[in-house]
């Protein structure tokens, strides 16, 4: 289910909220009904051949998994992460990078969860995928434990294994 607002508009909206509230990526009550949200993230992926400063938006969809009591499964959400407006610039060479990634994880439904997602970062050139390297996005996400909806989130970017 998609919102009708553009991704850019949502991002600007969230950035504005973050500035006002002092909480980057905070999501307003009005947004709670929207299962798909965009969270801005930024940071530096270190390592060779050069460190890369990365920023952009990650769209996250949270879906509550239906459960039947007889299976005694804990309540879970499926989180879909879609990185498609993420770019970077090499701190030494100025090379432009892009990150396009999509991933799904299943997590127990809790009020606050820290989720790490790896993503490939590749030079924005033809066949750049052959020179891709790994980045790491860390999300601190808040949920409505009744509906599974995302109620807030922040994100940072770092280097895997660091």
Partner 1 sequence: MYLPWNASRARVREAENARQNRAEILQAWSQGRLSRRDLMKLGLFTAAGTLVLKNGLSPFARSAYADDSSIPTGLPRSPLFGVQPFTQPMPRFDVLPRTPVSALSPAPTAQANTTQQVLNPALEGVRPGDTGPIEGRPPGPIWAHQEFTRFAPAIAIQATQEGAKVNTVYNPGVASAFNSGLDPTAQVRPTFHPSLPDQGPLALWTFNGTLPPKLMQVRYGEPVLFRHRNQLPFNVTQNGGFGRHTITIHEHNGHHGAENDGFTGAYFFPGQFYDYHYPVVLAGWRIINPTASDPRAGGPDDNGGIIKVPGDWHETMSSHWFHDHMFSFTSQNVYKGMAGMFNIYSALDRGNEALNDGVNLRLPSGTAKAWGNLEYDVNLMVADKAWDRDGQLSFDIFQTDGFLGDVMTVNLAYKPFFEVERRKYRFRILNGAVARFFKISLSDGSPMIYIANDGNLLPSPVVATQLDQQGIGERYDIVIDFSRYSVGQKVWMVNLLAHEDGTMPSGTLSLSEALSGSSSDPCVGKFLEFRIVRDPVTPDVSQVPAVMIPNPDVSNVPVARQRNFVFGDDGNQTTDDPVTSFRGPWGIGTNGGDKLDADFGRISAAPHQGTREIWTIQNDGGDWDHPIHIHFEEGRILARNGSASNVPAWERGRKDVYRLRPDGSVTVSIQFRDFAGMFMEHCHNTTHEDNAMLLRWEIDDSGAPFLQPLPTPIPKPQGVTFEPPTDILRSAF
Provide, rounded to whole angstroms, the least separation between the CB of residue 91 and partner 1.
19
Nearer to partner 1, 12 or 132 (CB): 132
Q: Exposed (0-12), middle (13-18) or buried (19+): which is 51, by Cβ within 10 Å? A: middle
Nearer to partner 1, 23 or 106 (CB): 106
| Contact (CB, 8 A) for 160 and 47 | no
Apex 23 CA angle, 18 and 28, nearest 5: 65
Provide, rounded to whole angstroms, the least separation between the CB of residue 29 and partner 1.
27
Nearest Cα to Cα of residue 62 among 155, 160, 157, 146: 146
Provide, rounded to whole angstroms, the least separation between the CB of residue 80 and partner 1.
9
Cis ω for the linkage preceding 49 (within 30 of 0): yes
Nearer to partner 1, 55 or 159 (CB): 159
d(CA 155, CA 158): 10
List interacting residues with partner 1 (CB under 8 A): 65-68, 71-74, 76, 78, 101-108, 115-120, 122, 126-127, 129-130, 132-136, 160-161
Number of other CB atoms surrounding residue 8 within 10 Å: 11
Nearer to partner 1, 93 or 104 (CB): 104
Provide, rounded to whole angstroms, the least separation between the CB of residue 115 and partner 1.
6
């Amino acid at each position: 289910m998609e919102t009708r607002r553009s991704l850019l508009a949502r991002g600007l909206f969230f950035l504005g909220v973050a500035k006002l509230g002092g909480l980057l990526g905070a999501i307003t009550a009005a947004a709670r009904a929207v299962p798909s949200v965009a969270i801005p993230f930024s940071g530096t992926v270190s390592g060779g051949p050069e460190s890369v400063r990365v920023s952009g938006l990650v769209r996250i969809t949270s879906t509550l998994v239906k459960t039947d009591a007889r299976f005694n499964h804990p309540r879970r959400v499926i989180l879909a992460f879609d990185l498609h407006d993420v770019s970077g610039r090499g701190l030494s060479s100025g090379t432009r990078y892009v990150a396009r990634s999509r991933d799904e994880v299943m997590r127990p439904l809790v009020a606050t969860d820290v989720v790490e997602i790896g993503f490939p970062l590749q030079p924005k050139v033809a066949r750049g995928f052959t020179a891709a390297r790994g980045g790491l996005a860390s999300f601190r996400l808040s949920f409505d434990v009744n509906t599974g909806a995302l109620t807030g989130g922040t994100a940072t970017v770092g280097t895997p294994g660091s």
